[in-house]
Amino acid sequence: MTVAPHFQFHHRTLHAEQVPLTELAEQFGTPLYVYSRHALRDAWESYRIAGQGRKLLVCYGMKANSNLAVLQEFAQLGTGFDIVSGGELARVLAAGGDPSKVVFSGVGKQVWEIEAALQAGVKCFNVESEGELERIAEIAARMGKRAPISLRVNPDVDAHTHPYISTGLKDNKFGVPIEHAPAIYARAQQLESLLITGVDCHIGSQITEISPYLDALDKLIKLIKQLQAQGVQLEHLDLGGGLGIRYTDETPATPSDLLSHVFVALDEHQLGHLEIVLEPGRSMVGNAGVLLTRVEYLKHGDGKNFAIIDAAMNDLIRPTLYDAWHSVEAVEPRPVNPDTPVYDLVGPICESGDWIARDRQLALAPDDLLAIMSAGAYAFTMSSQYNTRPRAAEVMVDGSTVHLIRPREELASLFASERLLPK
Protein backbone atom coordinates (compact mmCIF):
# COMPACT_ATOMS: atom_id res chain seq x y z
CA MET A 1 0.00 0.00 0.00
CA THR A 2 1.42 3.37 -1.06
CA VAL A 3 -0.24 6.24 0.77
CA ALA A 4 1.34 9.66 1.15
CA PRO A 5 1.75 10.95 4.74
CA HIS A 6 -1.10 13.45 4.49
CA PHE A 7 -3.49 10.94 2.91
CA GLN A 8 -4.24 8.24 5.46
CA PHE A 9 -7.04 5.86 6.42
CA HIS A 10 -9.19 6.71 9.45
CA HIS A 11 -12.14 4.52 10.37
CA ARG A 12 -11.59 2.54 7.15
CA THR A 13 -11.98 5.62 4.93
CA LEU A 14 -9.17 7.42 3.13
CA HIS A 15 -8.80 11.03 4.28
CA ALA A 16 -7.03 14.12 3.02
CA GLU A 17 -5.64 15.48 6.28
CA GLN A 18 -8.78 15.46 8.48
CA VAL A 19 -11.39 15.33 5.69
CA PRO A 20 -12.86 12.06 4.34
CA LEU A 21 -12.52 11.81 0.57
CA THR A 22 -16.09 10.54 0.48
CA GLU A 23 -17.30 13.94 1.69
CA LEU A 24 -15.26 15.75 -0.95
CA ALA A 25 -16.68 13.55 -3.71
CA GLU A 26 -20.21 14.20 -2.50
CA GLN A 27 -19.68 17.96 -2.30
CA PHE A 28 -17.64 18.59 -5.43
CA GLY A 29 -18.21 15.57 -7.66
CA THR A 30 -15.63 13.51 -9.53
CA PRO A 31 -13.12 13.45 -11.10
CA LEU A 32 -11.62 15.77 -8.50
CA TYR A 33 -8.09 16.85 -7.66
CA VAL A 34 -7.47 17.04 -3.92
CA TYR A 35 -4.36 18.69 -2.46
CA SER A 36 -2.97 18.83 1.06
CA ARG A 37 -1.75 22.25 2.18
CA HIS A 38 0.41 20.73 4.91
CA ALA A 39 2.08 18.46 2.38
CA LEU A 40 3.14 21.54 0.39
CA ARG A 41 4.55 23.13 3.51
CA ASP A 42 6.42 19.98 4.52
CA ALA A 43 8.00 19.68 1.08
CA TRP A 44 9.15 23.29 1.23
CA GLU A 45 10.50 22.75 4.73
CA SER A 46 12.69 19.87 3.55
CA TYR A 47 14.51 22.27 1.20
CA ARG A 48 14.69 25.07 3.78
CA ILE A 49 16.31 22.80 6.35
CA ALA A 50 18.72 21.37 3.78
CA GLY A 51 19.97 24.86 2.94
CA GLN A 52 20.21 26.31 6.44
CA GLY A 53 23.24 28.52 6.88
CA ARG A 54 23.97 28.67 3.14
CA LYS A 55 22.90 30.90 0.28
CA LEU A 56 20.09 28.89 -1.30
CA LEU A 57 17.21 30.06 -3.48
CA VAL A 58 14.48 27.52 -4.17
CA CYS A 59 12.66 28.39 -7.39
CA TYR A 60 9.60 26.16 -7.60
CA GLY A 61 9.33 24.56 -11.05
CA MET A 62 5.75 25.63 -11.53
CA LYS A 63 5.05 23.61 -14.68
CA ALA A 64 4.46 20.73 -12.25
CA ASN A 65 1.36 22.41 -10.79
CA SER A 66 0.52 26.02 -11.57
CA ASN A 67 -2.74 26.55 -9.67
CA LEU A 68 -2.74 30.07 -8.21
CA ALA A 69 -3.40 28.80 -4.68
CA VAL A 70 -0.37 26.51 -4.88
CA LEU A 71 1.78 29.37 -6.16
CA GLN A 72 0.42 31.68 -3.46
CA GLU A 73 1.31 29.18 -0.73
CA PHE A 74 4.88 28.83 -1.95
CA ALA A 75 5.27 32.59 -2.48
CA GLN A 76 4.20 33.21 1.11
CA LEU A 77 6.76 30.66 2.27
CA GLY A 78 9.48 32.58 0.42
CA THR A 79 10.17 30.55 -2.69
CA GLY A 80 11.12 31.87 -6.06
CA PHE A 81 9.77 30.37 -9.28
CA ASP A 82 11.18 28.65 -12.33
CA ILE A 83 9.04 29.63 -15.32
CA VAL A 84 9.07 28.51 -18.94
CA SER A 85 6.58 30.93 -20.53
CA GLY A 86 5.11 34.40 -20.35
CA GLY A 87 1.88 32.83 -19.20
CA GLU A 88 3.63 31.30 -16.21
CA LEU A 89 5.14 34.69 -15.38
CA ALA A 90 1.63 36.18 -15.40
CA ARG A 91 0.49 33.45 -13.00
CA VAL A 92 3.38 34.17 -10.61
CA LEU A 93 2.50 37.86 -10.55
CA ALA A 94 -1.21 37.12 -10.09
CA ALA A 95 -0.38 34.88 -7.12
CA GLY A 96 1.76 37.55 -5.44
CA GLY A 97 5.15 36.04 -6.31
CA ASP A 98 8.33 38.13 -6.26
CA PRO A 99 9.62 38.59 -9.84
CA SER A 100 13.14 39.21 -8.52
CA LYS A 101 13.12 35.52 -7.48
CA VAL A 102 12.04 34.26 -10.91
CA VAL A 103 14.33 32.40 -13.30
CA PHE A 104 13.08 32.15 -16.88
CA SER A 105 13.95 28.84 -18.56
CA GLY A 106 12.78 27.31 -21.85
CA VAL A 107 14.19 26.91 -25.34
CA GLY A 108 11.68 29.03 -27.28
CA LYS A 109 11.31 32.39 -25.55
CA GLN A 110 9.31 34.75 -27.76
CA VAL A 111 9.87 38.50 -28.06
CA TRP A 112 6.78 39.43 -26.04
CA GLU A 113 7.78 37.00 -23.28
CA ILE A 114 11.28 38.45 -23.00
CA GLU A 115 9.83 41.97 -22.92
CA ALA A 116 7.38 41.02 -20.17
CA ALA A 117 10.13 39.40 -18.09
CA LEU A 118 12.42 42.41 -18.45
CA GLN A 119 9.58 44.74 -17.51
CA ALA A 120 8.74 42.64 -14.45
CA GLY A 121 12.39 42.49 -13.35
CA VAL A 122 13.09 38.75 -13.22
CA LYS A 123 16.17 37.45 -11.45
CA CYS A 124 17.66 35.76 -14.49
CA PHE A 125 17.11 34.43 -17.99
CA ASN A 126 18.41 30.86 -18.35
CA VAL A 127 19.68 31.22 -21.92
CA GLU A 128 19.42 28.06 -24.01
CA SER A 129 21.01 29.03 -27.35
CA GLU A 130 23.27 31.58 -28.99
CA GLY A 131 20.33 32.91 -30.97
CA GLU A 132 18.40 33.51 -27.77
CA LEU A 133 21.38 35.35 -26.25
CA GLU A 134 21.44 37.76 -29.19
CA ARG A 135 17.67 38.26 -29.07
CA ILE A 136 17.66 39.06 -25.35
CA ALA A 137 20.55 41.50 -25.81
CA GLU A 138 18.75 43.30 -28.64
CA ILE A 139 15.46 43.57 -26.75
CA ALA A 140 17.15 44.74 -23.55
CA ALA A 141 19.08 47.41 -25.47
CA ARG A 142 15.88 48.63 -27.12
CA MET A 143 14.15 48.81 -23.72
CA GLY A 144 17.09 50.56 -22.08
CA LYS A 145 17.68 47.71 -19.64
CA ARG A 146 20.41 45.23 -18.76
CA ALA A 147 19.17 41.66 -18.89
CA PRO A 148 20.57 39.33 -16.21
CA ILE A 149 21.56 36.08 -17.88
CA SER A 150 22.75 32.62 -17.01
CA LEU A 151 23.75 30.11 -19.67
CA ARG A 152 22.08 26.73 -19.47
CA VAL A 153 24.76 24.21 -20.28
CA ASN A 154 24.23 20.62 -21.29
CA PRO A 155 26.78 18.43 -19.48
CA ASP A 156 25.90 15.20 -21.35
CA VAL A 157 25.02 13.38 -18.12
CA ASP A 158 22.58 10.47 -18.04
CA ALA A 159 20.01 11.07 -15.29
CA HIS A 160 18.79 7.44 -15.46
CA THR A 161 15.18 8.47 -15.94
CA HIS A 162 12.50 8.21 -18.65
CA PRO A 163 13.77 9.41 -22.08
CA TYR A 164 10.95 11.96 -22.33
CA ILE A 165 12.04 13.70 -19.11
CA SER A 166 15.80 13.43 -19.57
CA THR A 167 17.22 16.86 -20.43
CA GLY A 168 21.00 16.67 -19.91
CA LEU A 169 22.18 14.50 -22.81
CA LYS A 170 23.64 15.64 -26.12
CA ASP A 171 20.55 14.38 -27.93
CA ASN A 172 18.22 16.61 -25.86
CA LYS A 173 16.99 19.98 -27.12
CA PHE A 174 17.87 21.86 -23.95
CA GLY A 175 20.87 24.07 -23.27
CA VAL A 176 24.17 24.41 -25.11
CA PRO A 177 27.03 21.89 -25.09
CA ILE A 178 29.17 22.61 -22.05
CA GLU A 179 32.33 22.76 -24.20
CA HIS A 180 30.82 25.67 -26.18
CA ALA A 181 29.99 27.69 -23.05
CA PRO A 182 33.27 29.69 -22.68
CA ALA A 183 32.91 31.12 -26.18
CA ILE A 184 29.26 32.03 -25.63
CA TYR A 185 30.09 33.70 -22.32
CA ALA A 186 32.85 35.63 -24.12
CA ARG A 187 30.24 36.89 -26.57
CA ALA A 188 27.95 37.86 -23.69
CA GLN A 189 30.82 39.87 -22.17
CA GLN A 190 30.84 41.98 -25.33
CA LEU A 191 27.14 42.86 -25.16
CA GLU A 192 26.58 45.84 -22.87
CA SER A 193 22.86 45.14 -22.47
CA LEU A 194 23.60 41.79 -20.77
CA LEU A 195 24.62 41.17 -17.17
CA ILE A 196 26.19 37.77 -16.59
CA THR A 197 25.02 36.45 -13.23
CA GLY A 198 25.26 32.66 -13.25
CA VAL A 199 25.46 29.28 -14.91
CA ASP A 200 22.58 26.82 -15.13
CA CYS A 201 22.19 23.09 -15.62
CA HIS A 202 19.14 20.81 -15.53
CA ILE A 203 19.59 17.12 -16.32
CA GLY A 204 16.11 15.64 -16.00
CA SER A 205 13.13 14.80 -13.83
CA GLN A 206 12.13 12.01 -11.42
CA ILE A 207 15.80 11.43 -10.51
CA THR A 208 16.09 9.14 -7.49
CA GLU A 209 19.86 9.13 -6.91
CA ILE A 210 22.39 11.92 -6.46
CA SER A 211 25.26 10.54 -8.54
CA PRO A 212 24.04 12.15 -11.82
CA TYR A 213 23.89 15.54 -10.06
CA LEU A 214 27.44 15.10 -8.77
CA ASP A 215 28.69 14.08 -12.22
CA ALA A 216 27.16 17.27 -13.62
CA LEU A 217 28.55 19.32 -10.74
CA ASP A 218 32.10 18.13 -11.45
CA LYS A 219 31.79 19.42 -15.01
CA LEU A 220 30.22 22.69 -13.86
CA ILE A 221 33.02 23.37 -11.39
CA LYS A 222 35.61 22.93 -14.16
CA LEU A 223 33.60 25.33 -16.33
CA ILE A 224 33.35 27.91 -13.55
CA LYS A 225 37.13 27.80 -13.06
CA GLN A 226 37.62 28.29 -16.79
CA LEU A 227 35.20 31.22 -16.80
CA GLN A 228 37.00 32.82 -13.87
CA ALA A 229 40.21 32.66 -15.91
CA GLN A 230 38.55 34.63 -18.71
CA GLY A 231 37.21 37.27 -16.34
CA VAL A 232 33.64 36.02 -15.84
CA GLN A 233 32.64 36.27 -12.17
CA LEU A 234 29.44 34.42 -11.41
CA GLU A 235 27.01 35.09 -8.58
CA HIS A 236 25.02 31.87 -8.63
CA LEU A 237 25.06 28.24 -9.69
CA ASP A 238 21.70 26.83 -10.76
CA LEU A 239 21.60 23.02 -10.50
CA GLY A 240 18.03 22.75 -11.77
CA GLY A 241 15.46 20.45 -10.27
CA GLY A 242 14.48 16.88 -10.89
CA LEU A 243 14.53 15.19 -7.49
CA GLY A 244 12.06 12.32 -7.67
CA ILE A 245 9.21 11.20 -5.44
CA ARG A 246 7.84 7.84 -4.42
CA TYR A 247 5.22 6.50 -6.81
CA THR A 248 5.59 2.84 -5.83
CA ASP A 249 8.73 1.42 -4.19
CA GLU A 250 11.30 4.12 -5.02
CA THR A 251 13.56 5.50 -2.30
CA PRO A 252 14.38 8.94 -3.71
CA ALA A 253 17.24 11.08 -2.49
CA THR A 254 16.24 13.98 -0.24
CA PRO A 255 17.19 17.65 -0.60
CA SER A 256 19.62 17.19 2.30
CA ASP A 257 21.22 14.19 0.57
CA LEU A 258 21.88 16.31 -2.49
CA LEU A 259 22.86 19.64 -0.94
CA SER A 260 25.22 18.20 1.66
CA HIS A 261 27.38 16.83 -1.15
CA VAL A 262 27.04 20.00 -3.23
CA PHE A 263 28.17 22.29 -0.41
CA VAL A 264 31.20 20.09 0.36
CA ALA A 265 32.27 20.05 -3.29
CA LEU A 266 31.93 23.83 -3.64
CA ASP A 267 33.86 24.50 -0.44
CA GLU A 268 36.67 22.21 -1.60
CA HIS A 269 37.04 24.34 -4.72
CA GLN A 270 36.72 27.73 -2.96
CA LEU A 271 33.32 28.32 -4.54
CA GLY A 272 31.28 28.46 -1.35
CA HIS A 273 30.43 32.12 -2.04
CA LEU A 274 28.11 31.12 -4.91
CA GLU A 275 24.39 31.23 -4.30
CA ILE A 276 22.84 27.84 -5.10
CA VAL A 277 19.60 27.94 -7.08
CA LEU A 278 17.38 24.86 -7.28
CA GLU A 279 14.29 24.40 -9.44
CA PRO A 280 12.29 21.59 -7.77
CA GLY A 281 8.82 20.87 -9.10
CA ARG A 282 7.64 17.30 -8.66
CA SER A 283 9.28 16.92 -5.23
CA MET A 284 7.38 19.97 -3.97
CA VAL A 285 3.89 18.90 -5.07
CA GLY A 286 3.83 15.35 -6.41
CA ASN A 287 2.77 13.57 -3.23
CA ALA A 288 0.63 16.50 -2.09
CA GLY A 289 -2.28 15.57 -4.36
CA VAL A 290 -4.58 12.74 -5.41
CA LEU A 291 -7.06 12.35 -8.25
CA LEU A 292 -10.40 11.19 -6.90
CA THR A 293 -12.48 9.15 -9.35
CA ARG A 294 -15.61 6.97 -9.32
CA VAL A 295 -16.21 3.56 -10.88
CA GLU A 296 -18.91 3.76 -13.54
CA TYR A 297 -18.97 0.18 -14.84
CA LEU A 298 -17.19 -3.15 -14.40
CA LYS A 299 -16.59 -5.08 -17.61
CA HIS A 300 -15.37 -8.68 -17.25
CA GLY A 301 -13.88 -10.48 -20.24
CA ASP A 302 -11.93 -13.59 -21.16
CA GLY A 303 -8.63 -11.75 -21.60
CA LYS A 304 -9.06 -8.59 -19.50
CA ASN A 305 -11.25 -7.11 -16.82
CA PHE A 306 -11.92 -3.39 -17.07
CA ALA A 307 -12.99 -0.95 -14.40
CA ILE A 308 -14.40 1.99 -16.34
CA ILE A 309 -13.95 5.12 -14.24
CA ASP A 310 -14.97 8.74 -14.74
CA ALA A 311 -11.37 10.01 -14.83
CA ALA A 312 -9.60 9.71 -18.16
CA MET A 313 -6.41 10.47 -20.05
CA ASN A 314 -7.57 14.07 -20.44
CA ASP A 315 -7.44 14.35 -16.63
CA LEU A 316 -4.18 12.42 -16.11
CA ILE A 317 -2.09 11.75 -19.20
CA ARG A 318 1.09 10.53 -17.49
CA PRO A 319 0.24 6.79 -17.76
CA THR A 320 -0.50 7.09 -21.48
CA LEU A 321 2.40 9.44 -22.20
CA TYR A 322 5.15 7.94 -20.03
CA ASP A 323 3.75 4.50 -19.16
CA ALA A 324 3.79 5.97 -15.65
CA TRP A 325 2.72 4.09 -12.54
CA HIS A 326 0.35 5.65 -10.01
CA SER A 327 -0.73 3.73 -6.94
CA VAL A 328 -4.51 3.26 -6.71
CA GLU A 329 -6.31 3.13 -3.37
CA ALA A 330 -9.96 2.28 -2.78
CA VAL A 331 -11.35 5.06 -0.62
CA GLU A 332 -13.45 2.56 1.33
CA PRO A 333 -11.59 -0.70 0.62
CA ARG A 334 -13.02 -4.18 0.71
CA PRO A 335 -10.91 -7.24 1.58
CA VAL A 336 -8.78 -8.59 -1.26
CA ASN A 337 -8.21 -12.36 -1.56
CA PRO A 338 -6.58 -14.62 -4.19
CA ASP A 339 -9.85 -14.76 -6.16
CA THR A 340 -10.28 -10.97 -6.32
CA PRO A 341 -10.29 -9.86 -9.99
CA VAL A 342 -7.43 -7.93 -11.57
CA TYR A 343 -8.56 -4.84 -13.47
CA ASP A 344 -7.30 -2.31 -15.94
CA LEU A 345 -8.62 1.12 -14.91
CA VAL A 346 -9.75 2.88 -18.07
CA GLY A 347 -11.63 6.08 -18.81
CA PRO A 348 -14.45 7.07 -21.17
CA ILE A 349 -12.21 8.74 -23.79
CA CYS A 350 -12.57 7.23 -27.26
CA GLU A 351 -8.94 6.02 -27.43
CA SER A 352 -7.41 2.63 -26.65
CA GLY A 353 -4.63 4.55 -24.91
CA ASP A 354 -7.09 5.93 -22.37
CA TRP A 355 -5.95 4.10 -19.26
CA ILE A 356 -4.95 5.19 -15.77
CA ALA A 357 -3.63 1.94 -14.28
CA ARG A 358 -3.17 -1.65 -15.44
CA ASP A 359 -3.36 -5.01 -13.73
CA ARG A 360 -4.54 -3.85 -10.31
CA GLN A 361 -6.14 -6.34 -7.94
CA LEU A 362 -9.03 -4.46 -6.37
CA ALA A 363 -12.36 -5.55 -4.87
CA LEU A 364 -14.66 -3.20 -6.77
CA ALA A 365 -18.30 -2.44 -7.37
CA PRO A 366 -19.93 0.27 -9.49
CA ASP A 367 -20.02 3.67 -7.74
CA ASP A 368 -16.89 2.91 -5.66
CA LEU A 369 -14.48 5.78 -5.11
CA LEU A 370 -10.81 5.38 -5.98
CA ALA A 371 -7.87 7.67 -5.25
CA ILE A 372 -5.11 7.88 -7.84
CA MET A 373 -2.12 8.71 -5.65
CA SER A 374 0.87 10.99 -6.26
CA ALA A 375 -1.18 13.16 -8.61
CA GLY A 376 -0.04 16.58 -7.45
CA ALA A 377 2.57 17.02 -10.21
CA TYR A 378 2.19 16.94 -14.00
CA ALA A 379 -1.45 15.98 -13.60
CA PHE A 380 -4.00 18.80 -13.79
CA THR A 381 -1.37 21.01 -15.38
CA MET A 382 -1.19 18.62 -18.36
CA SER A 383 -4.94 18.02 -18.56
CA SER A 384 -7.06 18.90 -21.59
CA GLN A 385 -10.64 19.14 -22.81
CA TYR A 386 -10.32 16.27 -25.28
CA ASN A 387 -13.69 14.74 -26.22
CA THR A 388 -15.20 18.02 -24.96
CA ARG A 389 -14.78 16.93 -21.36
CA PRO A 390 -14.72 19.71 -18.75
CA ARG A 391 -11.51 19.80 -16.76
CA ALA A 392 -11.79 18.62 -13.17
CA ALA A 393 -12.24 20.80 -10.11
CA GLU A 394 -9.37 21.29 -7.66
CA VAL A 395 -9.67 21.62 -3.89
CA MET A 396 -7.12 22.36 -1.16
CA VAL A 397 -7.53 20.73 2.24
CA ASP A 398 -6.08 22.52 5.26
CA GLY A 399 -6.72 20.41 8.35
CA SER A 400 -10.51 20.15 8.50
CA THR A 401 -11.07 23.12 6.18
CA VAL A 402 -11.66 22.72 2.44
CA HIS A 403 -11.04 25.43 -0.17
CA LEU A 404 -12.34 25.19 -3.73
CA ILE A 405 -9.34 26.55 -5.68
CA ARG A 406 -10.68 25.86 -9.16
CA PRO A 407 -14.32 25.05 -9.96
CA ARG A 408 -15.18 22.35 -12.46
CA GLU A 409 -15.47 23.78 -15.94
CA GLU A 410 -18.98 24.29 -17.31
CA LEU A 411 -19.80 22.71 -20.65
CA ALA A 412 -20.79 26.02 -22.21
CA SER A 413 -17.42 27.54 -21.30
CA LEU A 414 -15.59 24.94 -23.42
CA PHE A 415 -16.81 26.51 -26.64
CA ALA A 416 -17.78 30.01 -25.48
CA SER A 417 -14.93 31.63 -27.43
CA GLU A 418 -15.69 29.79 -30.68
CA ARG A 419 -17.67 31.36 -33.54
CA LEU A 420 -20.16 29.90 -36.01
CA LEU A 421 -19.80 30.75 -39.67
CA PRO A 422 -22.36 33.10 -41.28
CA LYS A 423 -25.40 31.24 -42.61
**Tens-place pLDDT, residues 192-208:** 999 999 999 998 888 88
Question: What is the pTM assigned to this prediction?
Answer: 0.94
pLDDT at 1: 46
Return the higher-pLDDT residue of 169 and 403. Answer: 403
Lowest-pLDDT range of 149-163, 183-197, 245-259, 323-337: 149-163
User: Any idea of the CA torsion for 25, 398, 330, 314, to the nearest 10 degrees?
Assistant: 60
The residue-averaged pLDDT of 275-299 equals: 97
Q: What's the average model confidence in pLDDT over 319-338? A: 95
What is the amino acid identity at position 54? R
pLDDT for 136: 98
Which pLDDT score is estimated for 183?
97
Catalytic residue among 59, 124, 201, 350: 350
Phi and psi at 41, nearest 5°, equal -65, -40
Give percent of the chain with pLDDT exceeding 90.
Answer: 86
The model's pLDDT over 10-21, given as tens digits with 9 standing for 90+, comes to: 999 999 999 999
Q: Using 50, 70 and 90 to split pLDDT, how confident is the model at 23?
A: very high
Q: Residues at the annotated binding site?
A: 242, 279-282, 318, 322, 351, 378
Give yes or no for a cis peptide into 31 (omega within 30° of 0).
Answer: yes
Whether the Cβ atoms of residue 311 and residue 30 lie closer than 8 Å to each other: yes
- pLDDT band at 343; cut points 50, 70, 90: very high
Please tell me the predicted confidence (pLDDT) of residue 175. 86
According to the model, what pLDDT value does residue 124 have? Answer: 98
What average pLDDT does the segment 33-58 reach?
A: 97
> Could you tell me which residues are annotated as the binding site for substrate?
282, 318, 322, 351, 378
- The average confidence (pLDDT) of the chain is 94
Instruction: Map out the domains of the chain with their CATH numbers.
Output: 7-36+286-414 (2.40.37.10), 105-280 (3.20.20.10)
Rounded to whole angstroms, the Cα distance separating 125 from 152 reads: 9
pLDDT at 92: 98
Active site residue 201: no
Specify the pLDDT at position 250: 81
